[in-house]
């Protein structure tokens, strides 16, 4: 190797070493979590605002057409990074040559995904009987290459816990891409406005990661460590494939048998629910996997850290879901408008599944940080089959039937199975999930009953006024419910200590 090459590799060492991060891991994790939550709050406001605007400019058919393509090409998209971004974050030690090799693998696979998507464009159009899907597929195929270019750079920023930088890039991409989409919709671009949002967002993210991460790839070099990371990523990718299949086969079935209009209603209901839930889970996943991966050798610390994370999440999400169920019709009218009123029942059914979805997301943190990706694949294979059977069972009753079958199956079958599976090995046991959930379940029940009484006995003239009053009632009800239980009081005190620590930063 030349002196220049050696010097460049030495300069890149700052992106690979994580020893200094362990010196103050708790504070770094808290700071990262607070930055991430602030980022997601801003992102949530942006997405809700854009949803309200676009829903009044576009039709259910516009969303349905794009949803048909995304549900299909999403299978191809799963393979674009092969789980190698997570491998870069999770691995204890990694070097320039290994990341360079992963970069070129990611880029090569992304190019292959682009070619496959282009080749399958006519097939997708034939399957749904809709010729407009060809051009939509060709346009969305550009996202694969953009994603492949930025995958490892984004992973290195996460590995170094540079969450503030990631937050700025993510928010900037959201602002610009949503702005482009709204302007396009204003000028009558119809479903092309949604396509422009997706494509421009992927381009800006890749560019931002390259500009903020000074690492540059070298020539690829094969090693046994690369093989190990590919095996890790393969397990994660296989799991994601099964997970994606179970979460998107419903879109394919509804689009095929009930058309773009029905799929547009269904996808908006699901997306409306997922915006707040994914806004919490997606960024916290990066912080959590990074933190837990550094604690694998300390089981007690690992267990304590995870359960505190889980507790904080469900204390917010579970009572909020009760609020969503009772106020679903008002929520849809305010966010989407009167022409989307049919979404209300679908949204309400989906909301029942949201009680446990945040917990489901966090179990992935456990299996990934412990390197149990192939175990995760086998579990998702089992529950995925159960979910697919639920979709088929509910399909004759259109979107509402599919949403109901999905939620009931998740609550009564898949969630208990998941607790049992996780608890078979590792620091977290099955009873930990039930014990940690008790205060939040009690608070959720209280919020649900109070809001039901409110809707039963109080007449509201405008949905915005009703939604505001319902929210004002929900917050003190939840806080009082937590305060009644000894474990709830401890959890509230923990929240207070956490907020104090965050404010000191």
For residue 468 the two structure tokens come to 């505001």
pTM over 0.75: no
Nearest to 311 by CA among 462, 220, 443, 174: 443
Along the chain (505 residues), what's the average pLDDT of each consecutive run of 10 residues? 45 59 58 67 83 89 88 74 72 77 87 90 90 93 86 83 83 93 93 94 92 83 72 69 76 86 86 74 67 78 86 89 92 87 90 85 80 77 87 92 92 90 85 90 95 91 90 95 89 76 57
- Under 8 Å between Cβ of 66 and 194: yes
d(CA 392, CA 128): 18
Provide the b/e sequence for 277-304 (b: ≥16 CB within 10 Å): bbbbbebbbbbbbbbbbbbbeeeebbbe
pLDDT at 7: 45
- Under 8 Å between Cβ of 475 and 481: no
pLDDT at 36: 67
Q: What are 15-18's contacts with CB under 8 Å, separation 24+?
A: 15/99, 15/156, 15/159, 15/160, 15/213, 15/214, 15/215, 16/93, 16/94, 16/95, 16/96, 16/99, 16/156, 16/159, 18/92, 18/159, 18/160, 18/294
pLDDT at 6: 46
For residue 246 the two structure tokens come to 């179970």
């Amino acid at each position: 190797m030349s002196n220049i090459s050696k010097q460049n590799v030495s300069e890149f060492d700052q992106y690979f070493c994580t020893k200094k991060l362990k010196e103050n891991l708790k504070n770094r994790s808290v700071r990262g979590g607070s930055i991430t939550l602030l980022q997601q709050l801003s992102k949530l406001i942006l997405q809700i605002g854009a949803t309200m605007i676009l829903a009044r400019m576009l039709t259910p058919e516009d969303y349905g057409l794009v949803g048909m393509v995304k549900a299909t090409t999403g299978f191809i998209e799963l393979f674009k990074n092969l789980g190698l971004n997570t491998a870069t974050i999770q691995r204890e030690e990694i070097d320039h040559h290994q990341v360079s090799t992963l970069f070129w693998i990611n880029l090569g696979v992304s190019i292959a995904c682009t070619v496959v998507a282009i080749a399958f464009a006519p097939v997708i159009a034939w399957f749904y009987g809709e010729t407009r899907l060809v051009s939509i597929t060709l346009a969305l195929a550009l996202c694969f290459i953009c994603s492949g270019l930025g995958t490892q750079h984004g992973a290195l920023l996460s590995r170094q816990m540079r969450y503030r930088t990631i937050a700025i890039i993510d928010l900037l991409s959201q602002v610009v891409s949503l702005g482009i989409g709204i302007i396009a919709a204003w000028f009558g671009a119809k479903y092309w406005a949604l396509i422009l949002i997706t494509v421009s967002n992927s381009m800006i993210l890749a560019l931002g990661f390259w500009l903020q991460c000074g690492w540059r790839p070298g020539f690829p070099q094969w090693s046994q460590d690369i093989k190990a990371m590919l095996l890790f990523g393969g397990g994660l990718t296989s799991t994601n494939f099964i997970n994606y299949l179970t979460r998107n086969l419903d879109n394919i079935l509804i689009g095929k048998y009930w058309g773009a209009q029905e799929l547009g209603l269904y996808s908006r209901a699901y997306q409306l629910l997922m915006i707040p839930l994914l806004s919490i889970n997606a960024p916290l996943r990066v912080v959590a996997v990074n933190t837990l991966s550094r604690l694998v050798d300390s089981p007690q610390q690992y267990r304590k850290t995870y359960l505190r994370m889980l507790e904080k999440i469900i204390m917010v999400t579970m009572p909020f879901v009760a609020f969503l169920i009772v106020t679903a019709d008002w929520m849809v009218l305010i966010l989407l408008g009167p022409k989307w009123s049919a979404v209300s029942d679908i949204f309400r059914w989906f909301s029942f599944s949201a009680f446990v979805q945040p917990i489901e997301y966090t179990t992935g943190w456990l299996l990934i940080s412990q390197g149990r990706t192939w175990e995760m694949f086998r579990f998702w294979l089992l529950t995925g089959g159960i979910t697919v059977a639920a979709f088929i069972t509910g399909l004759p009753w259109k979107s509402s039937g599919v949403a109901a079958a999905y939620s009931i199956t998740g609550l009564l079958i898949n969630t208990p199975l998941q607790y049992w599976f996780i608890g078979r090995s590792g620091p977290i046991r099955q009873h930990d999930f039930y014990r940690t959930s008790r205060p939040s379940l009690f608070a959720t029940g209280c919020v649900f009953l109070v809001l039901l009484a409110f809707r039963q006995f109080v007449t509201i003239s405008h949905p915005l006024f009703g939604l505001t009053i319902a929210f004002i009632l929900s917050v003190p009800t939840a806080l009082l419910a937590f305060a009644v239980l000894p474990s709830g009081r401890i959890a509230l005190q923990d929240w207070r200590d956490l907020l104090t620590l965050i404010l000191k930063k």
